[in-house]
Amino acid sequence: MDNIVINVKDVKKMYKLYDKPMDRMKEALGFSRKKRYKEHYALNGVSFDVKKGETVGIIGTNGSGKSTMLKIITGVLNPTAGEVEIEGRISALLELGAGFNSEYTGIENVYLNGTMTGFTKEEIDARLQEILDFADIGDFVYQPVKTYSSGMLVRLAFAVAINIDPEILIVDEALSVGDVFFQAKCFKKFEDFKKEGKTILFVSHDLSSVQKYCDRVVLLNKGNKLAEGSAKDMVNLYKKVLVNRLADTTLSNEDNPAIEGKAVSITDHPADSPKGSHDGDRWRDHFEVNPNLIEYGNKEAELIDFAIMDADGMYTSSIEKGTRFTVKSKTLFHQDIQMPIFTLTFKDIHGTAITGTNTMYEKKDIEEAKEGEIYVAEFTQEMNLQGGEYLVSMSCTGYANGEFTVYHRLYDVLNLTVVSDKDTVGFYDMNSEVTVTKVEA
């Protein structure tokens, strides 16, 4: 126990959910003995330990209780039940700038924030220049923070939190503030903390960072602790949570794509049987489909299903860099179409098309698709994109009477996360083989 610096014991956090504001008021005033609320447990009996010098990650879908747990550990929230024991001084990167007074200058807020964290004026004096150098906002530190841009505010808040020499650092999605150069500086500081043997508790949706930095990971799901283990194992389990495949991780032969072999394969199915199976168990139901996707086309051919599969044949929205994966679409033809073309495009979150292909480029031509037929197009490739978030688009197009025609196109229909512990410059990795040799002068 002497080596444990964070001890979370059976922590619960319950919120009362009322159907109407009046119900809340009646209960508060004691006008009703009837329970007028539903109990919602943001956390339901979660326990784990963090040892000195460890970097422990907490991952889970939105609403799993990650941020609630961090707020309880840092004292922002009180648990409904259970307890948290802390040994050491904490610095928390939660809601950056939330504790700043907008009327105070940047310098005044540095002292205010440092004092609230438990530092004396002399201790803050000793660290002031380091904080200002890290924030790098120039003479704006002498102006009221209400005049700051949002970027300047989080830079200063991050600089204060990261440079007060805490024994325990708690980070909640805070390493991606400011421009790319400031982000690089933040990650460098984070790595320095690890090398110094500091204890770090890290919450992030960036699975690449979780896998790269964390010694151990706790996986939360709907307020419960689902599992705890190595970063790689927990990221793989989290991928199953994302596509609702926890109870059944084995796919049927029909759903298991041929990973080896050709880059693109087209399969023709009779109209009666696959259509029935499509209605019963759709691939798309294993994914969070973009509610704001753009679709158009004359619907003479219609994309009725789609999926992303990893090298093990599992539905997934996360692919590890350097592994093979498959994107497949199922198209139902409502009339005879000559030479249909199936397409696939990857875009970054800014909407820039990064890469893509289609069956015409890959020379996988279909002479004619008959009315009522269903075709499955499978695009299998190695993931060489950098770690990050991408959007997947797909379509069925062609040339009708010599004119380019869109039969059905789905823009940004699925999100794809690339998990990587080694990124290079730019959009993709050239997989360079590097040698460095010392030679005599």
Share of the chain above pLDDT 90, in %: 45
Average pLDDT over residues 318-335: 95
pLDDT at 258: 29
Q: CA end-to-end span of the chain, whole Å?
A: 55
pLDDT of residue 263: 55
The chain-wide mean pLDDT, for the chain, equals 84
> Is residue 49 within 8 Å of residue 2, measured between CB atoms?
no
At 5-47, the pLDDT tens digits run 999 999 999 998 887 777 777 777 766 667 777 888 999 999 9
**Domain 264-419 sits in which CATH superfamily?**
abc- transporter (atp binding component) like domain (2.70.50.60)
Residue 174, pLDDT score = 58
| Tokens standing for residue 303 | 């994309």
Could you tell me which of 179, 197, 85 has the C-alpha nearest to residue 136?
179
Q: Is the pLDDT of residue 51 over 70?
A: yes
The confidence score (pLDDT) of residue 368 equals 95
Question: For 12-26, b where at least 16 C-beta lie within 10 A, e where not — what string?
Answer: bbeeeeeeeeebeee
Looking at residue 216, its pLDDT comes to 95
Q: 58, 65 in Cβ contact below 8 A?
A: no
**How many Å apart are CA 202 and CA 112, to the nearest integer?**
25
Rounded to whole angstroms, what are the CA distances from 397 to 5, 65, 87, 280, 298? 59, 44, 62, 27, 10
Of the candidate CATH numbers 3.40.50.12780, 1.25.40.10, 2.60.260.20, 3.40.50.300, the domain formed by 4-242 belongs to 3.40.50.300
Q: How far apart are CA 102 and CA 87, in angstroms?
A: 32
pLDDT in tens, 253-287: 333 332 233 357 777 754 433 333 344 579 999 99
Q: Please tell me the predicted confidence (pLDDT) of residue 21.
A: 79
Beta bridge partners of residue 222, listed in sequence order: none
pLDDT of residue 422: 84
Residue 379 contacts residue 360 (beta carbons within 8 Å): no
Quick one: pLDDT at residue 397? 96
Distances from the Cα of 312 to the Cαs of 382, 398, 416, in angstroms? 13, 32, 17
Residues in CB range of 190: below 8 A, 6 or more apart: 171, 175, 200, 213
Chain Cα centroid distance, residue 311: 20
Nearest-angstrom CA–CA distance, 72 and 172: 13
Radius of gyration of the chain (CA): 26
- How distant, in Å, are the alpha carbons of 115, 118, 148 from that of 157? 14, 16, 12
Q: Which residue has the higher pLDDT, 87 or 276?
A: 87
Task: Please give the single-letter amino acid code of residue 313.
Answer: G
Q: What is the Cα–Cα distance from 121 to 118, expressed in whole angstroms? A: 10
What percent of the chain is predicted at pLDDT more than 70? 87
> Per mean pLDDT, which range of 290-294, 319-323, 336-340 is the poorest?
290-294
Give residue 276's pLDDT: 34
Sequence letter at residue 322: G
Q: What average pLDDT does the segment 315-324 reach?
A: 93
Whether 417 and 389 have beta carbons less than 8 Å apart is answered as yes
- 215 vs 264 pLDDT, higher one: 215
* Per-residue confidence band for 247, with pLDDT thresholds at 50, 70 and 90: very low
pLDDT of residue 43: 95
134 — alpha (psi -120 to 50), left (phi > 0) or beta?
Answer: alpha
Token pair 């209400």: residue: 146
Q: Which residues lie below 8 Å from residue 403, measured CB to CB, with a gap of 6+?
A: none
Q: What is the pLDDT of residue 246?
A: 53
- Report pLDDT for 260: 32
Place of tokens 């031509």: 365
Q: Which residue has the higher pLDDT, 421 or 54?
A: 54
Which residue from 316, 437, 308, 277 is spatially nearest to 379, judged by alpha carbons?
308
Point out the least confidently predicted range of 16-20, 364-368, 414-418.
16-20
Every domain of the chain with CATH number 3.40.50.300 lies at 4-242
For residue 268, what are the β-bridge partners?
A: 375
Length, in residues, of the chain: 441
Distance CA 30, CA 25 (A): 8
Question: Taking the mean position of all CA atoms in its chain, how far away is CA 146?
Answer: 31
pLDDT of residue 277: 37
Residues 133-179 pLDDT 10s: 888 888 899 999 889 887 788 788 888 877 877 788 888 765 555 56
pLDDT tier, 226 (very low <50, low <70, confident <90, very high otherwise): very high
Q: Tens of pLDDT along 292-315?
A: 888 999 999 999 999 999 999 999
| CATH 2.70.50.60 domain locations along the chain | 264-419
Of 134, 147, 135, nearest to 105 by C-alpha is: 147
Which pLDDT belongs to residue 69? 93
Q: What mean pLDDT comes out for the span 91-105?
A: 74
Q: Are 50 and 30 in contact (CB under 8 A)?
A: no
Q: What is the pTM of this model?
A: 0.70
User: Which amino acid type is present at position 16?
Assistant: K
